[in-house]
């Protein structure tokens, strides 16, 4: 959408006609819309209200200062200075262009009275404290204005104006606003869903509910080298099962790695009670693993509970593994289960020192 910027040009008039023509020409070449005192045939209190409105509507304000101070307004200062002060007070992006050597300006275009000269010098001193450029000929002024305005537009972008037929009509604007609100609502809902259990999962076994898992292991009698295969079952909770494999999926994990983690979990959970069994008391135990059927059931259940999901990012043709990762909800549940909480009562650290034998 092409923008045009409206620029208010403030200066005395009769002594700077050529200079203003050059400035207007430079602005038009930049596709800007000039506005200024030539729009107002008389400068009085009634016209001043209109001048303020035009300055408000403009995107940028330019001041050209030559050898004249200008006609005096009701406040005892010139209308040109009133315009400048008003533009500054409203925060309008402003730049001034001062004649480089005002002493060389012809008498007809210079202040003749001591009071006028004093006010002009005071105004010029005030302007030089802000952003300003200098010029000497009308042609140089036009060139300086063109370059300076381009820089000002880049450093201080304004609203600008566009053609009415390039704007969306009211109906389209309302539709866009409704769509934007809908997007915001959906984003809020998505954020909520990401950290909550999926709908319908409340009817599924989960949390501290127990699930029977079949596992196998090998047992080698004392003094022998041939082991026998045994099978048994145990009843961990769903939280136990999930906590045993969840850290592997903080990034992602291939399916065999999850199976191995559950195999190791079955060993840790069952080794002690198996050693207490009279039949296995003196056997060497190893080769623990859960059944493939139970592994698939666990995987499906955790997926149905919204804790894990397949990672479908592109991979090499040779990589045929299935990869799993935590959902945002699964990550939150894992943190609850695995993060170490600070004890409410501080317990001193106990250290046992064993003297070495020399």
The pLDDT assigned to 343 comes to 67
**Which long-range contacts does 104-111 make (Cβ < 8 Å, 24+ apart)?**
104/136, 105/15, 105/66, 105/67, 106/67, 108/15, 109/15, 109/16, 109/66, 109/67, 109/68, 110/15, 110/67, 110/68, 111/67, 111/68, 111/69
The predicted pLDDT at position 226 comes to 87
Least confident of 45-54, 104-113, 297-306: 45-54
Higher-pLDDT residue of 66 and 344 is 66
Q: Give the end of a domain, one of 105, 132, 164.
A: 164
Q: Which of 296, 220, 27, 19 is nearest to 136 (CA)?
A: 19
Same domain, 156 and 229: no
Q: How confident is the model at residue 187 (pLDDT cuts 50, 70, 90)?
A: confident
Residues 153 and 256 in one domain: no
**pLDDT above 70 covers what percent of the chain?**
88
Query: Quick one: pLDDT at residue 36?
Result: 80
274 assigned to some structural domain? yes
Q: Is residue 145 part of a domain?
A: yes
Identify whether the C-beta of residue 274 lies closer than 8 Å to the C-beta of residue 218: no
Q: What sign for the dihedral angle of Cα 314, 320, 324, 325? A: negative
Mean pLDDT value across the chain: 87
The string of pLDDT tens digits covering residues 259-284 is: 999 999 999 999 999 988 888 888 99
Q: Is the pLDDT of residue 41 over 60?
A: no
Does 217 share its domain with 159?
no
**pLDDT value at residue 45:** 56
Picking from 140-154, 196-210, 250-264, which range would have the lowest pLDDT averaged per residue? 196-210
Whether the predicted model's global pTM rises above the 0.75 cut: no
Which pLDDT value is given to residue 144? 95
153 in the same domain as 222:
no
Note whether 160 and 278 are same-domain residues: no
Q: Which of 35-44, 293-302, 345-354 has the highest mean pLDDT?
A: 293-302
Per the structure, the complete domain to which residue 91 belongs is given by: 6-164
Mean of the pLDDT values across residues 4-25? Answer: 91
**Main-chain dihedrals φ then ψ at residue 123, nearest 5 degrees:** -65, -45
Total structural domains within the chain: 2
Supply the pLDDT for residue 192: 62
CA distance 130 to 96: 8
Indicate if the pLDDT at residue 67 is higher than 50: yes
Mean of pLDDT values over 216-225: 90
pLDDT of the residue at 49: 84
What is the model's pLDDT at position 40? 58
Residue 195 inside a domain? The answer is no
Mean pLDDT of 197-217: 92
Residue 179 inside a domain? The answer is no
Q: What is the CATH number of the domain that holds 24?
A: 3.40.50.10140
């Amino acid at each position: 959408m092409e923008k045009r910027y409206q620029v208010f040009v403030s200066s005395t008039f009769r002594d700077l006609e050529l200079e203003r023509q050059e400035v207007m020409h430079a602005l038009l070449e930049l596709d800007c819309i000039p506005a200024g005192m030539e729009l107002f045939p008389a400068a009085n209190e009634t016209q001043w209200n209109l001048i303020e409105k035009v300055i408000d509507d403009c995107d940028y304000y330019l001041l050209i200062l030559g050898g004249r101070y200008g006609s005096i307004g009701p406040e005892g200062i010139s209308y040109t200075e009133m315009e400048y002060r008003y533009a500054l007070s409203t925060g309008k992006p402003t730049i001034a262009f001062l004649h480089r050597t005002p002493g060389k300006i012809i008498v007809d275009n210079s202040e003749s009275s001591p009071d006028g000269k004093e006010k002009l010098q005071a105004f010029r001193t005030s302007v030089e404290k802000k952003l300003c450029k200098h010029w000497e000929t009308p042609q140089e002024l036009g060139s300086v204005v063109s370059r300076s305005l381009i820089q000002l537009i880049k450093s201080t972008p304004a609203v600008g104006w566009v053609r009415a037929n390039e704007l969306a009509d009211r109906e389209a604007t309302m539709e866009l606003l409704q769509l934007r609100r809908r997007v915001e609502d959906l984003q809020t809902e998505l954020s909520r869903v990401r950290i909550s259990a999926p709908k319908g999962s409340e009817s599924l076994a989960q949390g501290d509910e127990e699930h029977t898992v079949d596992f196998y292991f090998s047992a080698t009698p004392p003094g022998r080298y041939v082991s026998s295969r045994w099978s048994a079952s145990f009843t961990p909770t769903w939280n136990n099962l999930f906590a045993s494999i969840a850290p592997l999926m903080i990034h992602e994990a291939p399916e065999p790695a999850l199976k191995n983690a559950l195999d190791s979990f079955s060993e840790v959970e069952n080794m002690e009670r198996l050693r207490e069994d009279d039949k296995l008391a003196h056997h060497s135990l190893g080769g623990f693993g859960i059944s493939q059927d139970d592994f698939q059931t666990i995987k499906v259940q955790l997926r149905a509970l919204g804790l894990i999901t397949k990672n479908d990012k592109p991979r090499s043709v040779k990589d045929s593994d299935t990869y799993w990762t935590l959902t945002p909800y699964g990550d939150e549940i894992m943190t609850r289960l695995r993060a170490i909480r600070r004890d409410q009562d501080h317990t001193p650290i106990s250290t046992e020192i064993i003297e070495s034998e020399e």
